[in-house]
Structure 1
Amino acid sequence: MTRIDFHTNVGDSLLYACRLARKAYQAGQPLVVLAEPARLRAFDERLWTFSPLDFIPHCMADNALAKETPVVLTSDLESAPHHQILLNLGATVPAQFARFERLLEVIGNAQDELVAGRERYRFYRDRGYALNNYKQGA
């Protein structure tokens, strides 16, 4: 069963997601990042600028190098080349999240993120998934 970790009260969710991507990369764990296209573009830009001393190799899932790249960005899980860790930056439950060993949900402090995050939390809980909660700033 997929392990699901909720990271809440993170403030800037894209910045926090960059830190999670860095952690996965440094641990040698392939990561797929899922989001709507506009949010994915914003995350891609953030990966290039969030830390002047870090480089996180990443590409879009339709890139020819996606299978060899440790961090893959996509808005469609059908094209995901890895199935270890999924980082969901989207507003909805990923349709194929159960294909992954681990799912990371990042919930920022914006009202829309809080509402969508609560809905996803209930969805997973109601289906019997054990949920791990990591509340930042608490």
Structure 2
Amino acid sequence: MAGNSTVDPVALRAAIAAVSAWLRDESAPQPARTELAAAVRTTVRALAASAPGHSVEVRVPPFVAVQCVEGPRHTRGTPPNVVETDPRTWLLLATGLLEFDGAVDVGAVTASGSRAAEVAHWLPITRLSSD
């Protein structure tokens, strides 16, 4: 099932390319906030386009929160299924450099609710190019 909106694959690749050195090597200079925000927002929105729905909320503060994954719609209060992480961890997941279950096990990702782990079915969103 296609999502209501799509993410331009060229924009997705460009956003990831801008942060790729930092993803591969944490000691590399952190990308500018605008580059980091673009990479996070683009990949999270790509997830929402690939897994449309409203049963899981994915949060990557301070940049974005989206609802995704087909199922019951949540409209009030705290959602019952939430995945939350920091921007670098999200981008590692989105590019396949980190596995979802491993990130949850070490506490880098908070996945609450019975359906939160379903997000892993759509990861990675893209792979880093081999520079």
TM-score normalised to structure 1 length: 0.31
More helix by share: 2
Q: Which has the higher contact order (CA 8 A, sep 6+)?
A: 1
TM-score normalised to structure 2 length: 0.32
